[in-house]
Amino acid sequence: MHTFRSLLLGAALVLAGQAHAATTTFNLSTPDPDNAEITVAARKFAELVTAKTGGQVEVKVFPSGQLYGGDPSAAVRQLSGGSLDMLLLSSSLYANFNPKFTAVSVPYLFDDTAQLRGYLAGPLGQELLSDLNAIGIRGLGLWQRPFRQMTNSRRPITGPQDLAGMKFRVPNNPLWVDFFGKAGAVPTPMAFGEVYNALQLKVVDGQENPINIPVTAKFYEVQKFATLSNHMADAWVLGINPAKFNALPEAQKQALQAAATEAEAWKFANDSADHAKSVEFLKGKGMQINTLTPEQQQSFVKLSRELYPRFATLVKDAAFFDKTLNSVGKK
């Protein structure tokens, strides 16, 4: 009987150990609401992690920057320090920590999403991921983000002349300030959380973001015109705290990496379908939407190329900037 009890106790300890393994949990923070493309993709990633680890690793998604008080720079520091487990944040925000990330968002650098995805998955994108080690972050992947579009409350935008004098909200990044300033706008850096009120109160006339953002942030309530300009690319950085990642068994590390790659491909397909839905939704809300013709777009492309010497100084790595231009045939 004593032996039988010992066997039962041993079995219980094994089961307890397995249960403990099943509760390995990572909190993943995103900056945008539940219905935003990045949070939807984050939930898909979480689903894939559960499937690929047999439930031994769980990823819980927290939207709207709630785990870091909405301050993205603080989020990067918290991820590095270990008070955040995982984070999805824009590559343009990482440029504050490593200027090389600025290269991803050079205006009209990429011809299409396929070229952007190739860059992010290729040697230069992987170099950016590896560079995260220097600030105490392990990069799991770079996910494409839909190209950025313009909205405003004043007029359709068909070329730089239409931006003249228009107060335009931009992220707090000199790349945006220089580009929109060169186009004749009055670039106004502002935290994203302040944008709706600024548009509503006419503190600024317009803003630019992927087309799904006016949907999820309800900018259609305070903006009349949308221009499909595809003027800038961006990426999402999927980062994880290295100590927490390194504590995982090798098989689980590989599962997280595989889930990150698969989620990026899923996100691309989902974003492609969502673009048309977002356009139709905004039309239904009364927004006037125009698409730049190739000729109209060229006026912005020319303007961007004139700024390449300035952009090179912002990247602060001339060799990396040159390699980036060469990789997409813009040298």
Asked if 22-146+233-275 and 148-232+278-327 have one fold, the answer is: yes
Residue 317's pLDDT band, with cuts at 50, 70 and 90, is very high
**How is domain 148-232+278-327 classified at the CATH fold level?**
D-Maltodextrin-Binding Protein; domain 2 (3.40.190)
> Length of the chain in residues, anyone?
331
Amino acid, single-letter form, for residue 7: L
Q: Would you state the structure tokens that stand for residue 217, as one six-digit string?
A: 């942030």
What's the pLDDT tens digit per position in 287-305? 999 999 999 999 999 999 9
| Residues of the chain above pLDDT 70, percent | 93
pLDDT exceeds cutoff 80 at 96: yes
Which pTM value belongs to this model? 0.90
22-146+233-275 sits in which CATH class?
alpha beta
Cβ atoms of residues 195 and 217 within 8 Å: yes
What residue ranges do the domains of the chain occupy?
A: 22-146+233-275, 148-232+278-327
What's the pLDDT tens digit per position in 105-137? 999 999 999 999 999 999 999 999 999 999 999
* Segment 263-267 long-range contacts (CB within 8 Å, at least 24 positions apart): 263/41, 263/44, 263/45, 263/48, 263/141, 263/143, 264/117, 264/141, 264/142, 264/143, 264/144, 266/41, 266/44, 267/37, 267/41, 267/44, 267/143, 267/144
What's the pLDDT tens digit per position in 153-208? 999 999 999 999 999 999 988 999 999 999 999 999 998 889 999 999 999 999 99
Q: Would you state the structure tokens that stand for residue 216, as one six-digit string?
A: 């999820």
Indicate the Cα dihedral angle 41, 45, 50, 51, nearest 10°.
100
> For residue 88, what are the β-bridge partners?
238
pLDDT exceeds cutoff 50 at 241: yes
> Of 3-7, 47-51, 150-154, 173-177, which range is least confident?
3-7
Pairing of strands 138-144, 186-189: unpaired
Better-scored residue on pLDDT, 22 or 241 = 241
- Per-residue confidence (pLDDT) for residue 63, from 0 to 100: 96
